[in-house]
Structure 1
Amino acid sequence: MSKGKKYFGTDGIRGEVGKGVINPDFVLKLGWAAGRVFSREGRGKIVIGKDTRISGYMFESVLQAGLASAGCDSLLVGPMPTPAIAYLTRTFSANAGIVISASHNPYYDNGIKFFSADGTKLPDDIEHAIEKELEQVLLTSASADLGKARRIDDANGRYVEYCKSTSGYLHLDGMHVVLDCAHGATYDVAPKVFRELGAEVTVIGAQPNGLNINEKVGSTAPSALQAKVLEVGADIGIAYDGDGDRLAMVDHEGQIVDGDELLFILANHYKTTGIVKDGVVGTLMTNLGLEVALKKIGLKLVRADVGDRYVNEQLTAHGWQLGGENSGHLVLKHVSTTGDGIVASLQVLAALLAANQTLSQAKSGMRKYPQVMINVKMPKKMDVLSIPAVKEAVAQAEADLADTGRVLLRPSGTEPVVRVMVEGEDVNIVKPVCEKLALAVESAVTKG
């Protein structure tokens, strides 16, 4: 959890279905609590979308009931990408949007994400207000004040048109694209977008059954996409995750192009168009090779904490337009309020067409530095970075790299481990330095 919140993490509330708070009772009350908050200045209106996991049916129903009991109306759009809910929230002038999704997690997990009226993540004060309402007794509104629900039948078409418009209605005639939809929320809209723009489209991972979301497909498991691109001789492959807010790409040779490389391609393109003037926001995990490549084209890299919320915060603070994570969660503020896999992939294709380059050629301006990461278990929660022996080991590791690399110690937010990461120009130097540092950290945390 973050900033003193009991339930909300950096990306909503998430967990295994039936365990903890991801159960019908809690989500019913969460809907009621959110409805109370968003109806304080009159009757509230909330857009509700979901991905394709089977528990989405259950949580959609109880969320709708909870909102109605608080006198708040619901607009149901069914299975749609997470960023589509951000867009539709703005389109329908709703008070907020809710997405039922656990993103790239397996089907047995689920979660609840919120968007504000302007399509951005909820500010902390609203999340605190919802948590405060969760502490109250659920009291149903008078019958005359109960909320209503209706299904939006044209939501799919609205979002398809929006995606196409963000790229200036690209002409993709003659381009063969393989799409991997992760059996998730993009399974219907993504193929429509690319076909309507003229591309020849081969689709995999688009047969959701409620249980197969992210299973051996999608941006977190791109081997199926690599194989299909080579099999059909496609120009490019694009994989989305289960809720469609992140992506990975594959070039015509079957090589994976990750979020850091896609950021470089976009930054290089946007610098020529004037959209990016000063810099790009990455995270603590962004490859050092991106920082070096950006510097060569006159751009700075600012590192945020891991998570698109923090990337967005840094973009706003600097007044910049482009940021993202190596996971493929890219934020393009000039066209979208949140990370959007389909929109980002169209922007990459626009960059390739403008430069008359293949994906392989466009990424060649950046050389990824070797990264080695070792997870060290912690017997208890502690401030690892304050331990003198750890400080000394980090200083020694940095000296061993001799300005040719970077050291990062990052306690995990979800596991009882500290991630020890070292990257640099030469893997033969990086690997032993990381192993030595991990041993030192392990020894220090064991002594406690």
Structure 2
Amino acid sequence: MIKFGTGGWRAIIGDEFTKENICILAKAMADKMICEQVDGKGVVIGYDRRFLSREAVVWSCEVLAAAGIKCYFVNRSVPTPLIMDYVMKHQFPYGFMVTASHNPAIYNGIKVFTYGGRDADEDQTRDIERYIARVDAAGIPRTRYEEAKRQGLVEEIYPMNEYIDDIMSKIDMEAIKKSQLKVAFDPMYGVSKTALSTILISGRCDLDVIHQEHDTLFGGRLPAPTADTLRVLQNQVVEWNYDLGIATDGDADRLGVIDDKGHYLHPNDILVLLYYYLIRYKGLKGPVVRNLATTHRLDQVAETFGEKCYEVPVGFKYISAKMTETGAIIGGESSGGLTVAGHINGKDGVYAATLLVEMIAVTGKPLSELVLEIRKECGEMYMEERAYEFTEQEKERLLEVLYEKRELPDLSDYQVDHVSYMDGCKVYFRNNGWVIARFSGTEPLLRIFCEMPEKQAAREICGLFEKYLGL
């Protein structure tokens, strides 16, 4: 029942996300650590604001403690990247974060991080699943939480200052102080408020925060910073003349942005802006890494400055690995996650937001002007995105059409260059355009993304796929 996708294990609360399954996963990880002889180094565990998150950590600690493994329990809800940062800096073999990231409120889950603070890759997750299969659910030993604390097998920590100081050491805080920016911030009832508010206030920003309360239902909205979920933030930026609006998802590893004109900036735009800023204004040199469902405008920016863009499958573990391999200065994905070389080996919405503020301060230009500057220098592309729910029977049919028979709609009007099945079905066109159909690794959805030099062409191609697949 416990299967890992691109963002760890996620499941509906009370269905598969249960106390029994949480304990099974904890026991599997304990067995794995003992077998690998890293159990003596302990493990760090954190959680977000979702229903049952803290309880899930307590149950996991009880199982791990019974196996003699010390747990460093971050005893307040914190951003996922804080846990990754702590695993990396303190050289833990593993770390856990109880979160379902941007999924609907009925979900929860657990992310596993490996040495270096990296997302567990496919080899690791398959290995974890093998250990899970061997666990006898009826015979899992547990040590009561308070007893485990008394024995020194659980230590409660709160390394928020370390995480905040690390980000501030990498940012031009003096430039931010001088800019006196007016910022609206929406943590979306998630865990970024303390970290990002502290950083921005330290930068003397005029800051206002909305949706900061603890609400396990996320105000009835999806805790993902999209054009639909950021209407309130958008209205606030326009009505009160903010320099920008910033939002982070439920566990603060993804970023959403409203510019000074009140326009929602797609995560693709944010990635392009920051890569352009690092090269044009900070004078850095190096390639960029994106997944295959992320804008090819990054390729255009890289080409403009004599650099290279590398493409990898969906999953941030592939981005961070490719960055290490190629010396890339930034990597990211169209769902809003990114990181910069020298920071953690995973996505961080708090750091990305701070870097964006630095960009405005250093350039002295509003976001809307920077967007136009990039379009003028590096060209433009238009993205169309669609998502479809399906039944298990429909999924089997779609898998057969797309991956087994490898059938496609008639795309002869668009000059197909080649087709890749590296991760989903992606068609590349000769004009740098592309379309991909792939199943989400975090939600039961089929996603179709198309990017073309003309908006109408992108819509038409998505429509062709939709009609052909009977969606």
Indicate whether the TM-score tops 0.5: yes
Over 3 Å counting, the alpha-carbon distance change for 1:200 and 1:216 in structure 2 is farther
| Residues 385 and 391, structure 1, Cα contact 8 Å, conserved in 2 | yes
Describe how 1:138-157 pairs up with structure 2 within 5 A. 138=139, 140=141, 148-153=153-158, 155-157=159-161
Q: Secondary structure at the match of 1:188?
A: helix
The answer to whether structure 1 residue 409 and structure 2 residue 436 are counterparts is yes
Stretches of structure 2 that go unaligned for 5 or more consecutive residues are: 418-427
Over 3 Å counting, the alpha-carbon distance change for 1:133 and 1:182 in structure 2 is same
Q: CA deviation at 1:36?
A: 2.9
Over 3 Å counting, the alpha-carbon distance change for 1:421 and 1:7 in structure 2 is closer
The answer to whether structure 1 residue 184 and structure 2 residue 190 are counterparts is yes
> What's the counterpart of residue 30 of structure 1?
25
CA distance in 2, matches of 1:9, 1:407: 25
CA distance in 2, matches of 1:421, 1:129: 32
The answer to whether structure 1 residue 344 and structure 2 residue 346 are counterparts is no
| Residues 104 and 243, structure 1, Cα contact 8 Å, conserved in 2 | yes
Q: CA deviation at 1:103?
A: 0.5
CA distance in 2, matches of 1:322, 1:126: 25
* Equivalent position to 2:11, from 8, 12, 15: 15
CA distance in 2, matches of 1:49, 1:387: 41
* Equivalent position to 2:82, from 57, 70, 84: 84
State the structure with bigger RCO (CA 8 A, min sep 6), 1 or 2: 2
CA distance in 2, matches of 1:265, 1:371: 16
- Kindly provide the CA deviation profile for residues 208-251 of structure 1, in whole angstroms up to 9, marking residues without a partner as x: 13332683665132212111212322111111000000101111
Match for 2:396: what amino acid?
K
| Residues 43 and 95, structure 2, Cα contact 8 Å, conserved in 1 | yes
| Residues 374 and 435, structure 1, Cα contact 8 Å, conserved in 2 | no
* Equivalent position to 1:161, from 161, 165, 180: 165
Match for 2:94: what amino acid?
A
Over 3 Å counting, the alpha-carbon distance change for 1:416 and 1:72 in structure 2 is closer
| Residues 105 and 214, structure 1, Cα contact 8 Å, conserved in 2 | no
Over 3 Å counting, the alpha-carbon distance change for 1:71 and 1:94 in structure 2 is same
Over 3 Å counting, the alpha-carbon distance change for 1:75 and 1:358 in structure 2 is same
Q: CA deviation at 1:54?
A: 2.2
CA distance in 2, matches of 1:291, 1:212: 36
| Residues 177 and 238, structure 1, Cα contact 8 Å, conserved in 2 | yes
* Equivalent position to 1:328, from 328, 336, 344: 336
- Kindly provide the CA deviation profile for residues 89-117 of structure 1, in whole angstroms up to 9, marking residues without a partner as x: 23444332110001011222101001123
Describe how 1:260-275 pairs up with structure 2 within 5 A. 260-272=268-280, 273-275=282-284
- Kindly provide the CA deviation profile for residues 20-56 of structure 1, in whole angstroms up to 9, marking residues without a partner as x: 2x11011112112212323424524111111111211
Q: Over the residues paired in the alignment, what is the CA RMSD in angstroms?
A: 3.1
Q: CA deviation at 1:285?
A: 2.0
| Residues 7 and 111, structure 2, Cα contact 8 Å, conserved in 1 | yes
Match for 2:135: what amino acid?
Q
Q: CA deviation at 1:357?
A: 1.6
Describe how 1:82-161 pairs up with structure 2 within 5 A. 82-134=80-132, 135-137=134-136, 138=139, 140=141, 148-153=153-158, 155-161=159-165
Moved more, 192-201 or 123-132: 123-132
* Equivalent position to 1:380, from 375, 396, 400: 396
> What's the counterpart of residue 66 of structure 2?
69
The answer to whether structure 1 residue 371 and structure 2 residue 383 are counterparts is yes
> What's the counterpart of residue 57 of structure 1?
54
| Residues 63 and 140, structure 2, Cα contact 8 Å, conserved in 1 | no
| Residues 72 and 157, structure 2, Cα contact 8 Å, conserved in 1 | yes
Q: Secondary structure at the match of 1:30?
A: helix
Moved more, 56-65 or 428-437: 428-437
Match for 1:355: what amino acid?
T
Q: CA deviation at 1:335?
A: 1.9
Over 3 Å counting, the alpha-carbon distance change for 1:212 and 1:123 in structure 2 is closer
| Residues 175 and 362, structure 2, Cα contact 8 Å, conserved in 1 | no
Match for 2:30: what amino acid?
G
Q: Secondary structure at the match of 2:353?
A: helix
| Residues 180 and 217, structure 1, Cα contact 8 Å, conserved in 2 | no
Q: Secondary structure at the match of 1:206?
A: coil
The answer to whether structure 1 residue 430 and structure 2 residue 442 are counterparts is no
Q: CA deviation at 1:168?
A: 4.3
| Residues 267 and 276, structure 1, Cα contact 8 Å, conserved in 2 | no
Stretches of structure 1 that go unaligned for 5 or more consecutive residues are: 444-448
TM-score (norm 2): 0.83
Over 3 Å counting, the alpha-carbon distance change for 1:92 and 1:255 in structure 2 is same
CA distance in 2, matches of 1:410, 1:258: 19
Over 3 Å counting, the alpha-carbon distance change for 1:380 and 1:131 in structure 2 is closer
| Residues 51 and 243, structure 1, Cα contact 8 Å, conserved in 2 | yes
Match for 1:240: what amino acid?
T
| Residues 398 and 407, structure 1, Cα contact 8 Å, conserved in 2 | no
TM-score (norm 1): 0.87
| Residues 379 and 416, structure 1, Cα contact 8 Å, conserved in 2 | no
